[in-house]
């Protein structure tokens, strides 16, 4: 490890790796650090990803694809099923990944592009000069170090400490965080090409349960709940209860826990000498919690803007705010819209969900758009208009 780089990326997830790869491809000297001793492990993810989005950043590889998903099924609290075909199902249908391998593969593309990669290497603080970030303080295998950089990229995920060290408030409010627990279960009866979602306060208050196949008889069985809906029962207990009910014979190969920002994009993603990408910038989707594609998108945009700023000799807050602008253009609109929808749907009662699900029985979901769906729901359920008013 050297004492000076053009760019230091803190965090070796897909967002950080894309920032590192893009910056390295532009000829910059890049250091990518990961505080864990392995990139990709432990996993904090349900591992579902849209095919179209993914192909923008990585060529699909059977080494890290566990399942090919054709449809989604949504179960209302009383068990009423809505079957959604691939055309309608959107970004959460596509592949279920093996993140342990996928994250390494993405990091490898950064390394191949020329980035230096260091693991078991943690940032513990920032070096600031006149309010501008000029490097990091860190620890590597117990030894303190300092390294300078023209730009530091905070890709430190939901923890998002790097941004806070630079004065950006990244703290997640309880109403803006999904707290999650998941089992990798085997020997269970599932539909291997369907991502299933279960709604309702019994198993996932202000969130949902997911069953994402990872093989013919294997799946990520997890749940996320809104932090503000906590009433003494933690995600691990909810998912235990769901698994006992749905897959009593299943065996658990892995326990996964984590949290997802559902706040919508931070109002500010950059400052002098610093940008935030991925979950650290809260670019994960407020409804689905999906963050892989948005994270990689933000990482790539950041890499390009950083390269431009460094080559132009200006890494001031003003110059780097171009990243804010471009990220907001590409991701901000749908994140803002989905945040508003999330604020409504997390308050919808179980009863209303059931009523809506019943009304949608027999609806052909192929060639359906979200506005058409909302119109359909309202037409069929004039009584729920009040509750859903904020959606429209």
Given the rule CB under 8 A, which residues bind other proteins? 35-37, 42, 44, 122, 157-161, 164, 170-174, 177, 179-181, 227, 230, 234-237, 255-259, 261
Distance, CA of 184 to CA of 220 (rounded, Å): 5
User: Cα 391 from chain centroid?
Assistant: 23
Smallest separation (angstroms) from other proteins to the CB of 357:
28
Smallest separation (angstroms) from other proteins to the CB of 180:
6
Residue 267 CB neighbours (<10 A): 11
Smallest separation (angstroms) from other proteins to the CB of 275:
18
Which of 35/304 has CB closer to other proteins? 35
Which of 123/307 has CB closer to other proteins? 123
Which of 136/377 has CB closer to other proteins? 136
User: Cα 291 from chain centroid?
Assistant: 2
Which of 141/375 has CB closer to other proteins? 141
Burial class (CB in 10 A: 0-12, 13-18, 19+), 54: buried
Smallest separation (angstroms) from other proteins to the CB of 296:
20
Smallest separation (angstroms) from other proteins to the CB of 233:
8
Smallest separation (angstroms) from other proteins to the CB of 71:
28
Smallest separation (angstroms) from other proteins to the CB of 305:
25
145-149 contacts at long range (C-beta below 8 A, 24 or more positions apart): 145/1, 146/3, 147/1, 147/2, 147/3, 147/4, 147/5, 147/8, 147/31, 148/3, 148/4, 148/5, 149/4, 149/5, 149/6, 149/7, 149/8, 149/31, 149/273
Residue 233 CB neighbours (<10 A): 12
Pairing of the two strands 218-226 and 177-186: antiparallel
CA-to-CA separations, 88 to 73, 237, 342, in angstroms, rounded: 11, 32, 19
Which of 160/220 has CB closer to other proteins? 160
Q: Cβ(152)–Cβ(273) under 8 Å?
A: yes
Which of 106/280 has CB closer to other proteins? 280
Which of 266/353 has CB closer to other proteins? 266
Which of 40/258 has CB closer to other proteins? 258
Smallest separation (angstroms) from other proteins to the CB of 184:
14
Distance, CA of 118 to CA of 242 (rounded, Å): 39
With H, G, I as helix, E, B as strand and everything else as coil, classify residue 84.
strand
DSSP bridge pairs for 219: 185, 213
Smallest separation (angstroms) from other proteins to the CB of 251:
19
Q: Cβ(272)–Cβ(316) under 8 Å?
A: yes
Please spell the DSSP secondary structure of 149-214, one letter per residue: EEEEEE--GGG-HHHHHTT---PPPGGGEEEEEEEEEES----TTEEEEE-STTT-TTSEEEEEEE
Which of 36/328 has CB closer to other proteins? 36
Could you tell me the sign of the dihedral formed by the alpha carbons of 155, 345, 204, 218, in that order? negative
Measuring CA to CA, which residue among 9, 300, 22 is closest to residue 152? Answer: 9
Which of 106/158 has CB closer to other proteins? 158
Smallest separation (angstroms) from other proteins to the CB of 235:
4
Pairing of the two strands 81-84 and 121-129: unpaired
């Amino acid at each position: 490890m050297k004492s000076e780089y053009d760019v230091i990326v803190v965090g070796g997830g897909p967002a950080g790796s894309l920032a590192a790869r893009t910056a390295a491809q532009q000829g910059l000297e890049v250091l990518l650090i990961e505080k864990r001793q392995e990139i990709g492990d432990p996993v904090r993810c349900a591992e579902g990803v849209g095919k179209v989005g993914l192909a923008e950043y990585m060529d699909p590889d059977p080494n890290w694809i566990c399942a090919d998903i054709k449809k989604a099924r949504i179960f209302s609290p009383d068990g009423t099923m809505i079957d959604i075909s691939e055309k309608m199902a959107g970004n959460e249908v596509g592949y279920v990944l093996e993140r342990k391998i996928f994250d390494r593969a993405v990091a490898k593309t950064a390394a191949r592009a020329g980035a230096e990669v260091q693991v078991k290497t943690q940032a513990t603080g920032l070096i600031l000069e006149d309010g501008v970030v000029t490097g990091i303080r860190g620890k590597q295998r117990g030894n303190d170090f300092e390294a300078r950089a023209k730009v530091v990229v905070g890709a430190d995920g939901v923890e998002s400490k790097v941004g806070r060290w630079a004065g950006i408030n990244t703290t997640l409010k309880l109403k803006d965080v999904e707290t999650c627990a998941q089992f990798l279960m085997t020997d269970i009866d599932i539909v291997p090409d369907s991502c299933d979602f279960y709604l309702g306060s019994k198993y996932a208050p202000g969130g949902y349960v997911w069953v994402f196949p990872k093989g013919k008889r294997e799946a990520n069985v997890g749940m996320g709940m809104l932090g503000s809906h906590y009433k003494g029962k933690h995600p691990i207990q909810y998912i235990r209860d769901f698994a006992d009910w749905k897959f009593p014979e299943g065996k658990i190969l892995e326990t996964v826990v984590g949290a997802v920002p559902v706040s919508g994009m931070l109002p500010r993603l950059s400052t002098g000498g610093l940008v935030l990408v991925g979950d650290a910038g809260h670019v994960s989707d407020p409804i689905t919690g999906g963050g892989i594609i948005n994270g990689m998108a933000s990482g790539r945009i950041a890499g390009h803007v950083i390269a431009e700023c460094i080559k132009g000799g200006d890494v001031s807050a003003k110059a780097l705010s171009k990243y804010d602008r471009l990220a907001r253009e590409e991701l901000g609109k749908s994140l803002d819209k989905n945040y508003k929808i999330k604020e409504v749907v997390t308050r919808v009662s179980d009863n209303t969900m059931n009523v809506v699900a019943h009304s949608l029985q027999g609806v052909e979901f192929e060639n359906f758009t979200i506005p058409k769906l909302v119109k359909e729901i309202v037409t069929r359920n004039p009584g729920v208009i009040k509750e859903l008013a904020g959606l429209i």
